Structure 1
Amino acid sequence: MTVEFPIERAPGVAPGRSSASSYGGLVWTVATALDKTLDFKGQIAASFEKIERVLAQFGTDKRYLLSVNVFLSDLGSKAEFDVAWRQWSVAIPTTGRKGPAWVRFCHPEPWWRLPLWPQSLNDRALP
């Protein structure tokens, strides 16, 4: 017996890659600025725009984010990123909920260099 999993995929910029996948009402996506000549703020804005565009393709938006992983190449720029994050994430509701609707994790290393997958996302309950 074959079991079908209705997975939807949004094409990525390279053959064989997806910029997002959806299954069971959940969407997974990744965003980086394609234009590396942009300054830091420009790359942040381009990444946020891509996230919003991809979520819209699947009929949803940032108000329904469950978690966000952020990888910064330099944690010295985290304060600047935090300003942009607060401006962008203001539309994510927290009213009437116990704790935030999302978790954000910043790390200076790409995920493949981390010794273990961040436990703060997988094993810790929200307050």
Structure 2
Amino acid sequence: MNIDRVPSRAAGRSDAASFNGLAFAVAYDPDAADGIKKQTLNSLAFLDTKLAEVHSGKDALLQVTVYLSDMSMKTEMDEVWCEWIGPRDNWPQRACVGADLGDDVTLIEIVVIAAQK
């Protein structure tokens, strides 16, 4: 069994991993910028980097779960998401849920499963 892992700067976790042709990643805004639009942009840029590290990309996304600290921000997040995800051929199965993200500054976390290229 060969699992490749991309360590996180947080102890005890990886930002991405791959196994058997699948890539798994989690994204967040490492800078904890002000506002959901900026945090979404930063999280998606972080996701692009982590997916590349496990030989994948947004065009290979299969499943995405977006966690928001406040569901009233979903419309603003969706604006950024839709611009980033691109054409319909890139659209993964996606869910968005409200969650306590553990602090007052983290507004979004994104968890994905993708195919490797």
**Per the shorter chain, which TM-score range?**
0.7 to 0.9
Identity %: 34
Q: CA RMSD in A?
A: 1.8
- Correspondence 1:81 to 2:77: yes
Query: SS at 2:5's partner residue?
Result: strand
Q: Pick from 89, 97, 107: which aligns with 1:93?
A: 89
Map 1:1-20 → 2, pairs under 5 A: 5-20=1-16
**Mapping for residues 47-126 of structure 1, pairs under 5 Å:** 47-91=43-87, 93=89, 101-110=91-100
* Structure 1 moving runs of 4+ over 6 Å: none
Distance in 1, matches of 2:34 and 2:18, equals 30
- Identify the residue that residue 22 of structure 2 maps to in structure 1: 26
Cα separation, 2, equivalents of 1:109 and 1:86 = 21
Measured in 1, the distance between the counterparts of 2:56 and 2:97 equals 27
> Is the CA contact (8 Å cut-off) linking 1:64 and 1:92 kept in structure 2?
no
User: What corresponds to 1:40 in structure 2?
Assistant: 36
Q: Give the superposition deviation at 1:38.
A: 2.8
| TM-score, with length taken from structure 1 | 0.72
Structure with the greater alpha carbon radius of gyration? 1
Find the aligned partners of 1:42 and 1:76 in 2 and give their Cα distance.
16
Structure (1/2) with the larger strand percentage: 2
**Contiguous gaps of at least 5 residues in structure 2:** 102-117
Query: 1:22, 1:7 → 2: CA distance?
Result: 6
Report the count of equivalent residues.
Answer: 101
**Using CA pairs below 8 Å that are at least 6 residues apart, which structure has the higher relative contact order?**
2
Whether the aligned pair in 1 keeps the contact of 2:6 and 2:14 (CA below 8 Å) is yes
Change (3 A) 1:7 1:93: same
